[in-house]
């Protein structure tokens, strides 16, 4: 894990093109997550009856609410990263603007933290959702096998 002191030095040494590449990567990953969330929404819609009938109804509804909040947060982050990428002009315009450049780097540093936390939270959410759907599919398979016998 990178310590804050090391991270600050690394950020100071980052060039404008490296920050631009990082921003493009974030935007790409957030766009993929947006598509993935549509898939998860479709799964929730498909298995709504099973989700309602599960004994863990309160847990599943909470997770679905978290998915909805995650979608809103993802859209916010997409807009923030898009704006951040567009603001990169401050660093590459060959005009000395030390305050703006420091502000941009500070914003980039904050985005590193925020986006990293979002990715971790989303990964945990996705793991929980897949566990729920795995259990639903397993139950359905058992019921089908019992009905066939």
Residue 13 has pLDDT above 70, yes or no: no
In a domain, 26, yes or no: yes
What is the pLDDT at residue 12? 59
State how many domains the chain has: 1
In a domain, 42, yes or no: yes
In a domain, 7, yes or no: no
Residue 87, phi then psi, degrees to nearest 5? -75, -5
In a domain, 3, yes or no: no
Q: For the stretch 85-117, what's the b/e string if a residue is b when 16 or more beta carbons lie within 10 angstroms of its beta carbon?
A: beebebbeeeeeeeeeeeebbeebbebbebbee
In a domain, 9, yes or no: no
| Residue-wise DSSP of the chain | ---HHHHHHHHHH--HHHHHHHHHHHHHHHHHHHHHHHHHHHHHHHTHHHHHHSTTHHHHHHHHHHHHHHHHHHHHHHHHHHHHHHTTHHHHSS---HHHHHHHHHHHHHHHHHHHHHHHHHHHHHHHHHHHHHHHHHHHHHHHHHHH-
pLDDT per position as a tens digit, 91-147:
776 677 777 778 888 889 999 999 999 999 999 999 988 888 888 888 888 877 778
In a domain, 104, yes or no: yes
In a domain, 149, yes or no: no
Structural domain of residue 45, as residue ranges? 15-141
* Mean pLDDT across 51-62: 72
Burial class (CB in 10 A: 0-12, 13-18, 19+), 78: middle
pTM above 0.75, yes or no: yes
């Amino acid at each position: 894990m990178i310590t804050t002191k090391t991270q600050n030095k690394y950020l100071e040494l980052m060039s404008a093109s490296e920050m631009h590449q990082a921003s493009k990567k974030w935007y790409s990953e957030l766009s993929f997550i947006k598509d993935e969330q549509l898939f998860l929404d479709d799964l929730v819609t498909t298995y709504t009856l099973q989700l309602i009938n599960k004994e863990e109804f309160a847990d599943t509804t909470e997770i679905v609410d978290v998915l909805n909040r995650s979608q809103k947060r993802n859209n916010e982050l997409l807009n923030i990263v898009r704006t951040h990428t567009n603001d990169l002009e401050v660093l590459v315009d060959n005009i000395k603007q030390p305050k703006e450049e420091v502000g941009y780097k500070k914003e980039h540093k904050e985005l590193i933290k925020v986006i990293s936390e979002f990715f971790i939270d989303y990964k945990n959410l996705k793991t929980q959702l897949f566990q729920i759907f795995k259990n639903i599919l397993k139950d359905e398979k058992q019921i089908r096998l019992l009905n066939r016998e």
